[in-house]
Amino acid sequence: MPRSSGILAFPDFRGFTRKLILWNLGAFFALLLLGVASKATASTIVFWTALVPPAVLHGAIWQLVTYSFVHDGILNTAFELLSLWFLGSFLESNHGSRWLAEIYFVSVIGAGLAAMALYAAMPAAGGGLTGCYGGIFGLLIAFGVLYADLEFMMFPLPFMIKAKYLVAVYLLISLAMLFSSQRAFAFSQLGGALAGYLYIKMAPRRGFAFAGSERFFSLRNNYYRWKRRRAARKFEVYMRKQNKDVHFDKDGRYIDPDKNPNDRRWMN
């Protein structure tokens, strides 16, 4: 059974995981410095980028993504980014950057939609949303489902724990928080977890982007083959009018009468 190599065995800092952490760090320090220079300007930017349910209902749909780059507090931000580092790097190394990007942002949007749903049902309970915990919970649920029996040590826990048990602990904490003043925050976390779960159950093995690109190139190649066959048929008709017979195979490739028709090597 795989185990972690120890408390100081930090994962690789590369790929989409590195980009995501640097984007979040850049946004955090930009707002921090802007707040020192002009608190009013910083507050305006936070209002337009954090998830504010009434603003989203009035067309600010970009907030369903941008809220994840707005962070509150140094310690909270550090814990978020450490969680992204550990979970993201592991999943990226096993599933690739595109897959990680897809499940992360699907979970972020899922958490935002959950916050909007709570606001629609209970306006007094719904509120603004910041931070990337929705995306983290999507990665966490994927980690727990895909690698349920993997034992590892994740800071700051001082003991080995199976992934499925860690995920269960986090979900139970979020469920308990539904009965506290942080109801909107907890509900959005659960929404991100649900979105991540649906993604790993419904998405192709290598993600929607890869499957879409494969489908696109398949359609493009089929179109080119159709054009070649069509051109071959037209050329056959033209040559027949010139009292000459030429033949093409079913893929539109010319059949040389001087070659052995049973030898298919010349047609490759």
**What is the DSSP annotation of the chain?**
------TT-PPP--HHHHHHHHHHHHHHHHHHHHHHH-HHHHHHHHHHHSB-HHHHHTT-TTHHHHGGG----HHHHHHHHHHHHHHHHHHHHHH-HHHHHHHHHHHHHHHHHHHHHHHHH-TTT---B-SSHHHHHHHHHHHHHHTTT-EE--TT--S-EEHHHHHHHHHHHHHHHTTSTTHHHHHHHHHHHHHHHHHHHHS-TT-HHHHHHHHHHHHHHHHHHHHHHHHHHHHHHHHHHTT----B-TTS-B--TTS-TT-GGGG-
pLDDT band at 258 (very low <50, low <70, confident <90, very high): low
On whether the pTM is more than 0.85, the answer is no
The average pLDDT across 130-141 equals: 95
The average pLDDT across 53-69 equals: 94
Q: Which residue has the higher pLDDT, 148 or 256?
A: 148
- What dotted CATH number matches 15-203? 1.20.1540.10
| pLDDT over 80 (residue 206) | no
